[in-house]
Structure 1
Amino acid sequence: MVSTSSTGRFSDGRSTPSTPMSEAADSPAPNNSSKGMEIAPDGDIVLEIEHEVGKPAAVHSYRVSATILTTHSKYFASLLQPGRFSEAANVEAKHRNLREQYGEVGKAPPRELPALSIKDVGRVAVKSVGPLLGDFFNILHNREMQIPPPVANLANLAVVADRFDALEVVRTYLRRKKVMKMLDAKTTAKADLALGEERVRQRLLVGVLLDHTPWVEKYSLRMICKGWASKEVSVSAALWWDLPGRLEDELVYRRECMLETIQSLQSHFLALYSSRERQCKLGYDSSAQCDSFQLGEMVRFFTRIGTVQLQGTLIDVADPPEPHAGDLINLLDTLRQVPEYQIDKFHSHCGIRTRLVPMLDLLQRAIPHAAVCGECWEANRTDLAWLGAKRPLLWRKGDSGLYGTGHRHAGIRDFFTATERQWS
């Protein structure tokens, strides 16, 4: 929401105004205004920003340069474009009066400058938006901020930069200050692995909005493997709880496809040992009894670890189970624990272990490549996203797209999204 203090109130609803903003009745400035911050000593405009964190919400004032705002922020460039909205005409009229009075607008005291009142700085999570907006406007004016800021502050800063369509100048500033490298250097491997969901989400949001691709790949994979991607979130939650650009939905879908792939491997062996094709490896003395024994032990193992649920088909008496909520890597490790069952001492390697473990190795090598590639997601997400892509009818073991070096996005996607997989 935006309004001008001397020309009436008006509002916007999006990051960059694209249609004329509705004007409402004049109203006085709130009495709970906080002390103003002078970002540009010779600034020619005052921003009065109110973001409802507490009640009553405080109003934070910033003396800034309109020229710098319009240079680095498409939001302000649109808002203050001459002839487009009434706000620009009101600011220019006030500037003419101040130039007549002071010679230069920058010599006028802050209380006489034209003021824009803005509500809503984006889906941030802070006790007070004052310091956060101070950092943002300092970056726009190429002034110093605390380096390196905590990751939570950086995530909130990215949200504000996105809200005001000023991501590029913030990206450039942070690259020049090598902020991401400093944060990585301060975080040990042990501390990184111990990060909770919110901290991981904050880093992923920073990686996406501020174009730090290593964080996109690392933390998107962690969210997929941990099962932290969610389909539902409150609209009042911070932006990192609802990742933008369909990324949240993409992570949910990738995990679903990966779980389906793991389940297809389990189904493959259940179908083999339930078929008429003999699986016993004893040669001429192979027996149906051995296959039946192996099938029973396999079902018992899968049931014990919670990956199979036996249910009758005569009548539906139970709701479908919830999708697996645990870590995918831990799930593969659990499946590796399947014993090499033997019906007697002569029947060695008749079970699934010797065939299952190499397939689990294949899955474990493929999973890291299921992460969202930050570079490709930014440049070509339409072609490389899994969500909405046409699913291959069949994946065969040995398909070349799964192997090799470099980017293997298409091959990995085909492997995990195929409607049917030929494991042997």
Structure 2
Amino acid sequence: MSDPKSPGPRLSKAITAIRVGEQEYPLLDIRSTGDLILDVSFKNTTECTKSIPKDALRELRSKKLPIPSPRIFYRVRLETLKKHSEYFRTLLTPPFAEGVLVKESLLRLSKLNQNPTEVEAEQLPRVRIVDDDTATKTIGREMIFGDLLQVLHGASPLTTPFTTHCLTVLVIMADRFSLLPFLTRHFQKNLLSHKYQISQDKNGEETLRQKVLIQFHTDHGVRFAAATKELILRGSFRWGGNYDMSGESECAYRRTCVLRTIASIQSQFLAIYSSSWDRQCKLGYDSSAACDSFQLGEMVKFLTKKGLLSLIPFQSVSPEDSEYIWPEAYSGDVDYLINMLRQCPSYQIDHNHGRCGLRTKLLPALDFIKSCIDSGLGIRLTASKNGPVFDSWIPPPAPKQPFYVADEKGEDVDIAGGTHKEFQFALVRPKMVWGTGNNSNVERSAKGLFTAERWDWITEPESSGKSGIGVRPL
């Protein structure tokens, strides 16, 4: 802002200047009767990738101008800052140097019989604050900081329109200066009514990530869970295969769990129809091996056409072979994947075989998976003395050494590594636990399904002893 030719954002409230040495800097009266000056330097670097207004950075680059680092003075009320912010309450109170300076300056004015709310800005105590761009990488943050102070002093924000990115910067700044509780209360209407324009390109993913961040800081309930569910279903090219205990890794891991669960349906039925041990055609005396072969062929054709199955030749091929195209993992939207699988036709070899194909087995499984996605996929936060926490799906590293014993089938089982879980669809009843309205049961039900090691999607008539969600140790 010190360079009058720079295309930096405009502050729409009347600004006067304050002189420091030979240089004049903008002075913004948040309160014309304020008794304190905040001297804020917004340090920007070439790492800035965003700007407020949106086209300011593009204009700077087109004119090959340096990224400005504005220094702005804000006239504010001392007691207002201390009342609503732990950060300012600590900073502006002795024994901190800033607190000592403020106390001495106000005492000096009092001895001169001068009212701090009436004197010129140059006579008021000044507190220096440096704000860097590491968190938001945005130039124009001075506008949002001014909005934050406006709201704090009971006025409306000056920035229009208030975009998703502006809201993100506002929340990050409020978090830094310990103003989130106040901001959440007094900005609640804006937070609830804000519309997130989420497209299918990279900009859409960035907007979705900003939505998750905003909800994390302002709403630890259903809106944050819904935002994380949306990110999990969409996926991200940033995600790799190494998972730590952060929220980012948690979302990536939950997506992997969901895709493995969905893939297990087609894997199981492809294996069953490929086997001659158990015939799937259920027409009694008319059951036919030809019907099973027909269904297997149609199943393979459908899944291959949809890009959900790849047939690999038996010969070994080097991964470095540039002529060979290896199949890629599904990276699209999970809802789209489920809807694509729902398009499976009701194949039949003749009119007597109306319920022998994949469709009758696939749709109930997909309906069940979708209900678990809707009820328990998003991250649900709970309060703790150390901040919000969540029940992670990522398994902790196993500290124990493996210890194998033979089971009843003579197979080696690692009893030190914990029990493996298998999900059995036949054990799932229509009145699932999420019908009770218990959120903890909702979370456990989805987690039990999606974190199983094996899935059995064969449905058989329930016996009187079968109950529960259908997850049991192997």
| Partners of 1:294 and 1:351 within 8 A in 2 | yes
Query: Could you say which residue in structure 2 is the equivalent of 1:224?
Result: 232
**Post-superposition offset of 1:335:** 1.0
Which structure dedicates a bigger proportion of its chain to strand?
2
Query: Could you say which residue in structure 1 is the equivalent of 2:208?
Result: 200
Query: Could you say which residue in structure 1 is the equivalent of 2:383?
Result: 379
1:283–1:80 CA distance, 2 compared to 1 (3 A): same
Aligned partner of 1:45: which letter? Answer: I
**Post-superposition offset of 1:60:** 1.8
Q: Percent identity?
A: 31
Cα-to-partner distance string for 1:315-342 (whole Å, 9 max, x where unaligned) = 3534864431222122112112222333
Asked if residue 35 in structure 1 is aligned to residue 26 in structure 2, the reply is: yes
Which segment drifts farther, 411-420 or 204-213? 204-213
Query: Could you say which residue in structure 1 is the equivalent of 2:454?
Result: 420
CA distance in 2, matches of 1:268, 1:29: 75
CA distance in 2, matches of 1:209, 1:383: 15
Query: Could you say which residue in structure 2 is the equivalent of 1:155?
Result: 168
Cα-to-partner distance string for 1:108-166 (whole Å, 9 max, x where unaligned) = 43223223131226633654122211110112222332599443322221111112221
| Partners of 1:339 and 1:353 within 8 A in 2 | yes
**Post-superposition offset of 1:273:** 1.3
1:323–1:94 CA distance, 2 compared to 1 (3 A): farther
Which structure dedicates a bigger proportion of its chain to helix?
1
**Post-superposition offset of 1:353:** 1.5
Alignment map for 1:17-96 (pairs within 5 Å): 34-40=25-31, 41-52=33-44, 55-83=67-95, 85-96=96-107
**Post-superposition offset of 1:265:** 1.0
CA distance in 1, matches of 2:185, 2:222: 17
Cα-to-partner distance string for 1:340-398 (whole Å, 9 max, x where unaligned) = 3334455443221111122122222222123436xx41437645333447996122224
1:346–1:61 CA distance, 2 compared to 1 (3 A): same
| Partners of 2:382 and 2:389 within 8 A in 1 | no
| Partners of 2:42 and 2:142 within 8 A in 1 | no
Query: Secondary structure at the residue paired with 1:92?
Result: helix
Alignment map for 1:155-174 (pairs within 5 Å): 155-174=168-187
CA distance in 1, matches of 2:365, 2:182: 47
**Post-superposition offset of 1:38:** 1.4
- Runs of 5+ in structure 2 lacking a partner? 1-18, 49-65, 321-325, 397-417, 459-474
Which segment drifts farther, 47-56 or 355-364? 47-56
Query: Could you say which residue in structure 2 is the equivalent of 1:267?
Result: 267
CA distance in 2, matches of 1:213, 1:383: 11
Aligned partner of 1:211: which letter? Answer: D
CA distance in 2, matches of 1:174, 1:274: 59
1:149–1:301 CA distance, 2 compared to 1 (3 A): same
Which segment drifts farther, 274-283 or 342-351? 342-351
**Post-superposition offset of 1:34:** 4.2
| Partners of 1:138 and 1:144 within 8 A in 2 | yes
Query: Could you say which residue in structure 2 is the equivalent of 1:354?
Result: 360
Which segment drifts farther, 92-101 or 165-174? 92-101
TM-score when scaled to structure 1?
Answer: 0.76
| Partners of 2:38 and 2:75 within 8 A in 1 | yes
| Partners of 1:47 and 1:64 within 8 A in 2 | no
Select 1:111's aligned residue among 122, 134, 140.
122
CA distance in 2, matches of 1:90, 1:392: 64
CA distance in 2, matches of 1:106, 1:287: 93
**Post-superposition offset of 1:79:** 2.8
Query: Secondary structure at the residue paired with 1:323?
Result: coil
CA distance in 1, matches of 2:331, 2:304: 16
Which segment drifts farther, 69-78 or 315-324? 315-324
Query: Could you say which residue in structure 2 is the equivalent of 1:241?
Result: none
Higher gyration radius (CA): 2
CA distance in 2, matches of 1:271, 1:392: 21
| Partners of 1:395 and 1:422 within 8 A in 2 | yes
CA-atom RMSD in angstroms? 3.4
CA distance in 2, matches of 1:271, 1:32: 78
| Partners of 1:47 and 1:61 within 8 A in 2 | yes
**Post-superposition offset of 1:182:** 4.1
Query: Secondary structure at the residue paired with 1:87?
Result: helix
Aligned partner of 1:300: which letter? Answer: K
Query: Could you say which residue in structure 1 is the equivalent of 2:422?
Result: 394
Which segment drifts farther, 351-360 or 37-46? 37-46
- Runs of 5+ in structure 1 lacking a partner? 1-27, 233-244
| Partners of 2:303 and 2:309 within 8 A in 1 | yes
